[in-house]
Amino acid sequence: MQPQLGYIDMGTTGTWYQARDACLNAGHQMPILQSSAENAALATFLNANTLPRTWLALSDTYTEGVLEWTVSTVHRFVLGSAYTNFDPGAATNTGSLDCVDFPAGTAVWRMRGCNQMKSIVCMQV
């Protein structure tokens, strides 16, 4: 049995970069979702805390067109063929859409501009 992941509401909003830095500076990381159970757990957390959406640790900010999970400022891993839950009707990875957000209501991933403001939620490590 996998240990239950915990999330922390940092009590503020920020860009993808601000969320990354806030989580890392607090000794945590942005949410990394590798299963439908983890996807559901984050949706439950957001809904329970009335947070409309947050950033995931997934972006192509380091290499255009290559989605990577950011674990720290120096450690990343490529999304590859792992679990995904992208909204099939949403815009894809083009142009200025470099970061992935997670809306609580639908719990599907969407490519967004990294400078949009979202609730900062960190995954406890």
What residue spans define the domains of the chain? Answer: 7-123
Where residue 1 falls among pLDDT bands split at 50, 70, 90?
very low
Is residue 83 over pLDDT 70?
A: yes
Contacts made by residues 90-96, CB under 8 angstroms, sequence distance 24+: 93/60, 93/65, 93/67
Of how many residues is the chain composed? Answer: 125
pLDDT digits (tens, 9 = 90+) for 39-73: 999 999 999 999 999 999 999 888 787 888 888 66
The pLDDT of residue 27 is: 93
Better-predicted residue by pLDDT, 118 or 74: 118
Is residue 22 over pLDDT 90?
A: yes
User: Does domain 7-123 match CATH 3.10.100.10?
Assistant: yes
11 phi-psi bin (left φ>0, alpha ψ -120 to 50, beta other):
left
Distance CA 102, CA 26 (A): 21
